[in-house]
Structures are given as C-alpha cells and as structure tokens.
Amino acid sequence: MNDKEKQETAAVTTSPYASDALAEGAVDAVVIGGGAAGLNGALILARSRRSVVVIDSGSPRNAPAEAVHGLLALDGTPPSELLRRGREQVRQYGGHVIHGQVVSAEPAAPSADGDLRFTVTLADGRHLTARRILVATGVKDVLPEVPGLAQHWGHSVVHCPYCHGWEVRDEPIGILATGPASVGPALLFRQLTEDLTYFTNETDLDEDTRTRFAARGIRVIDTPVTEVVSDEDGALAGVLLADGQVVARRVLGVVPRMQARTKGLEGLNLPVQDLPTGRTFASGTDGTTEVPGVWVAGNVTDPAAQVGASAAAGALAGIDINKKLAVADTDAALQPHLHW
C-alpha cells in the first residue's frame, strides 16, 4: 500500500466525531452525505418519526473556509460547528449518524408487500437496507493546475462573492479565468473593490466583454499565469506571469470545475447533467430523480447552492420522501383488505 492509499484508508477508518451504531433491519431512509443538505433532509425525516441513517465521510467541501456566510442568524459560524450542531439535532429526534464511506448503493429485491429496497455497503464491509435513499454527497472543486494556488484555497483564493466577498472587500483582487463562467463573478467582485484585474489565462474574452470591463475599470491581462506567489509570511502576494512580471494581488477569485461526488453510487444509475461549471446529478422537483426511490439534494445537483439553499433543498427532499413513504405504508396496510 502506497502513502496515498494509506491516507485514504485512514480517512475512511478514522472518525472525526462519535459514530452511532449501525441500525438493524430495513430503515426508512439512508442519507448519503452529512453536509447541510443531507443533515436537513435527515432532520425532516427524523422529526416525522422515520428511521433514518446518515452516512458521512467527514470531508465537507467547505472545510477550508473559516466561516459560513450569508446564512441568516448563523452568519460567521465555522463550518465544523454548523455540522456538529446538525448532527446533534438529527440524533435528538432518533436519527443515526455514521462516519463511513459508501462503496456501493444499488437496488435490492423488493419487500414482501412490493415496497422498494436498496442495499448500501460501507468501506468496512457493513451493510444497510433502505426503503429510500437521499444522495447529498456534494461536489469536489477541481482547481486550475497553477503552482501555489491550492495552498490558499478557501482563504485568499475564493470562488464565491457571496460566501467570501465582504471579508475581502477593498483588497486588490484578481480573477483567474477558467472559461466563460468567470465573467459573471468578475462583475460581482467589482462591486467589492475598485482594484480588480482579470487574468484571461489563455481563455477567450470577446471584445464586447472587454469593453464592458473597461467601462467598470477592470484591468485585463492576457499573459498566461504561471504561478501564485506568496510573501515571507505565507500570505498570497500576487501572480507570476509567463513574461516574468509579478502582478501584486491579495486575493484571487477562481471558478473551479465542480465534479459531483459519485464514487460508490454507480449502481443507482442516476442521470447526470453537464453544466458550464461541471457535471452533476440531474434532478426534478423536490430532488426527485428518474430512479424510483432515490432523491438528490444540495451541491451534488446544484453546485451554485450556498449552505442555506442546500439545507432548504434537503428539507424539500425529506418532505417528499416522507410523503412517498406514507403512501407506501398505506398501500401495504390496504393489501390484506383486498384479498377475499
């Protein structure tokens, strides 16, 4: 086993928090992903007296960030604290939260009354049987391969003006373009600073957009960026261009390529959708999918959703799952009365 494999194994087996015992028998719902969407979906279900198990790998997308912003009454809360409170509240109503990595999730033989069943398998070999599944695994941010960029991710390298904008206001900000999707954020970051530079970084920028940028005082640099430079204290200091020039910047805005976390979910055959910023699972109203019995919520289907929107999506999915389970329960109760 190489070093990378050892680290991945340790991440799966080492729990950052107390993990509940695995439930026995079929549970009403398994929630795959313990972020805002997954925990809020689980909360709705647990408060409806549904047996629910959350499987959480312990690797939230916003872990590098110091605080969650734009969330009413909880603005400034560290992501880890928000999730800790969420897990406690799910448990308060009888839900279970298990630290683990899902390696497979697939349909199983239906119950005797014809209700849906799924089998969820964890990396340690344990299994769960679920009547319904909510996928809330989120996305992985794939940054441009520019040396020095990743080490500042979530601090001086940011992706969202609403999540981080106030904290970087009035700083010299640079936008490191990754494609057409970088133009919109540039206009939004311009609201936060008068010193904004757009690095096209070998991506196309049409003349109309250049004219609009010029009207707002946004400087455009077409020379490719070769490195992100730090100062003596390790803080972001600027970017090094291919011609040797260093452009001083304290903050970089980057639109990463966002990839839905799909590992272990292949057996569900969920439909995907290609968006300008990445590939995610496709969903309908309330997180429904084309696969009966499976819902999706949060960034795994809507990569632009902030914490509040992801939590709301999880709640809507939880409500719909509970409705469908109530119908299934009624159908099962009715069956004995249909036989003479």
pLDDT for 107 beyond 90: yes
- 40-50 pLDDT, tens digit each: 999 999 999 99
Long-range own/partner contacts, residues 11-17 (CB < 8 A, 24 or more apart): 11/57, 11/58, 11/59, 11/101, 12/57, 12/100, 12/101, 12/123, 12/124, 13/123, 13/124, 15/58, 15/99, 16/58, 16/99, 17/58, 17/84, 17/87, 17/99
In the structure, what pLDDT confidence band is assigned to residue 238 with cuts at 50, 70 and 90? very high
pLDDT at site 275: 86
State the average pLDDT for the chain: 93
pLDDT for 339 beyond 80: no
Does the pTM of the predicted model rise above 0.85?
Answer: yes
- 16-28 pLDDT, tens digit each: 788 999 878 899 9
- 260-319 pLDDT, tens digit each: 999 999 999 999 999 887 889 999 999 999 999 999 999 999 998 999 999 999 999 999
Q: Which residues, in sequence order, are CB contacts of 208 under 8 Å at separation 6+?
A: none
In the structure, what pLDDT confidence band is assigned to residue 108 with cuts at 50, 70 and 90? very high
pLDDT for 5 beyond 70: no
Please choose, from the candidates 146, 125, 121, the residue with its C-alpha nearest in 3D space to the C-alpha of residue 133. Answer: 121
pLDDT at site 190: 98
- 46-104 pLDDT, tens digit each: 999 999 999 999 989 888 899 999 999 999 999 999 999 999 999 999 999 999 999 99
Say how far apart CA 157 and CA 155 lie, in whole Å: 6
What is the number of H-type helices and E-type strands within the chain? 7, 19
- Please report, to the nearest 10 degrees, the dihedral formed by the alpha carbons of residues 79, 81, 84, 90 taken in order: -80
Q: What percent of the chain has pLDDT over 90?
A: 87
- Tokens 């794939």 locate to 142
DSSP 337: G
Please give the C-alpha separations between residue 217 and each of 166, 186, 240, 250, 330, in angstroms, as whole numbers: 20, 11, 22, 18, 63
Beta-bridge partner residues of 317: none
pLDDT at site 15: 64
Backbone φ and ψ of 48, nearest 5°:
-95, 10
DSSP character string of 234-250: S-EEEEEETTS-EEE-S
In the structure, what pLDDT confidence band is assigned to residue 340 with cuts at 50, 70 and 90? low
Beta-bridge partner residues of 280: 273
pLDDT at site 246: 98
- Tokens 């009547």 locate to 131
pLDDT at site 79: 94
- One-letter amino acid of 184: G
pLDDT for 251 beyond 80: yes
The secondary element (H helix, E strand) that includes residue 314 is helix 307-334
The tokens for 57 are 């790998």
- Residue pair 189/175 in contact (Cβ under 8 Å)? The answer is yes
- 139-196 pLDDT, tens digit each: 999 999 999 999 999 999 999 999 999 999 999 999 999 999 999 999 999 999 999 9
